[in-house]
Structure 1
């Protein structure tokens, strides 16, 4: 998935059990990487997009991802587009989705307190070490050694999309040009796959994305954003950590 994944389990379980949970999570993420890689010719995604695999022959996971990407394309007015770069590339949804599924699999297996991080995508469940909420630092979009915000999350997801590390890698598919106007977008909500897609879509929109993000609060998604000229915006319910947390 082009990033390092970190897993932290805060459950009071025997060490062998914790190791087994981590091993199964890593196995799932490697499976997703192999199936959805756009760089491996024999991946399911690559076989499907060159016509070697029909939709009916695709796995249930790939069909689900394609359906969700189509829904998000509609819900974002075309700003989240798995075809923005030309050939199908659902990576903008798959990373968040795979971590969300990994968290649910951990919960089903008995882990009620954990943190999974994949680049700018994080999923927290339950309380962190010491019974406190998990603390999430959102990187300052110009100064890599500083934080713009510190969030406090017990059950939820945090996704950040920005132009400060990989430049203009986010494309505005509606305007047909690289995204501009916003330098960093962070979305906090109940589902990491959706939060990740919303952060990407808002970044693609540019400054109009600020208004669009404000409307997502009704869906349970809070946000924070920094414009290219350094202005910062947060939604009213953004879970900013207090000094006591």
Structure 2
């Protein structure tokens, strides 16, 4: 449910070695970039394969385009919740938590296109999946990573890498201008953290306002940065469609996150 945050480039001199992998998964191109000494060894390649394996697993559970996913079988009442992956029950819990924290601006009950609403945690699954996929990458000593999932980004590194100074590996992230997608409106420099953008520039009116019961088609975007992509993405969506009450909730309950509206 996010728009495009932009691309990440390393902001370091001299640039450390880099390697990238790309796979079409969860209905979008996902790229994993590693930087640091030893990126060409077998350990990093194995960690990347584990990361993509997590994304494939999440797709097999939550895809709305696969008839055999746990989510779709549950919606057709072919299985009970207890017969699904435990991740489905966790998604229900996360959705309820997000709805409460955002004062109702985020929901996992979304329009199906047939005039009704159904359980669809798409708005949190991407960020959650990327956070989970990052775990094997965080164990790679001396390496920094960036996962780009359809324009939303998670940057991280092994604990032995500093977040500042000459030995830090920094990633420069460009934020698109939602009214001119050929233009970068602003840039962020990160050693660690997530960047998620929600808006209508890329996909039109696809963001659902559960309070008003309608899709939001106004121009603009909201970018949220913070520790996890799960909550950066949730808050970006909620702030784009939500009211002043949602903005007040963000200010008081999401103190580790920052937002920018364009």
User: Is 2:101 aligned against 1:75?
Assistant: yes
In 2, distance between residues paired with 1:200 and 1:156?
A: 18
Structure 2 counterpart of 1:166: 203
| Deviates further, 173-182 or 131-140 | 173-182
Kindly tell me: are residues 168 and 218 of structure 1, through their superposed partners in 2, closer, same or farther at Cα, counting changes over 3 Å? closer
Q: CA deviation at 1:103?
A: 1.1
Secondary structure of 1:144's counterpart equals strand
1:215 aligns with 2:228: no
1:1-245 correspondence runs (5 A): 1-13=26-38, 14-85=40-111, 86-108=117-139, 110=141, 112-126=143-157, 131-179=168-216, 183-205=220-242, 208=244, 211-212=247-248, 215=251, 219-226=255-262
Q: Distance in 1 between matches of 2:201 and 2:128?
A: 23
What's the CA shift for 1:51?
Answer: 1.6
RMSD after superposition: 2.3
Q: Secondary structure at the match of 2:119?
A: coil
- With over 3 angstroms needed to count, the CA separation of the structure-2 counterparts of 1:212 and 1:148, relative to structure 1, is farther
Deviations 1:89-125 (A, max 9, x none): 1111000000011112321465751110101321101
Normalization by structure 1: what TM-score? Answer: 0.83
By relative contact order (CA 8 Å, sep 6+), the higher-ranking structure is 2
Give 5+ residue unaligned stretches, structure 2: 1-25, 112-116
- Note closer, same or farther for the CA distance 1:214–1:201 as it changes in structure 2 (3 Å cut): closer
Once residues 101 and 169 of structure 2 are traced to their aligned partners in structure 1, the CA distance between those partners, rounded to angstroms, is 35
How far 1:200 sits from its partner (Å)?
0.6
- Secondary structure of the 1:219 match is coil
The 8 Å contact of residues 168 and 191 in structure 2, kept in 1 or not, is answered as no
Q: Distance in 2 between matches of 1:58 and 1:8?
A: 32
Q: Distance in 1 between matches of 2:140 and 2:169?
A: 22
Aligned 8 A contact 1:161 1:203 in 2:
yes
The answer as to whether partners of 2:178 and 2:219 remain within 8 angstroms in 1 is: no
Q: Which runs of 5+ in 1 are unaligned?
A: 227-245
Counterpart contact for 2:171–2:190, Cα < 8 Å:
yes
Larger fraction in helix: 1
Between Structure 1 and Structure 2, which shows a larger proportion of strand residues?
Answer: 2
Shift of 1:217: 7.4
1:60, CA displacement in angstroms? Answer: 1.8
Whole-angstrom distance in 1 between the partners of 2:188 and 2:57: 31
Maintained 8 Å contact 1:96/1:193: yes
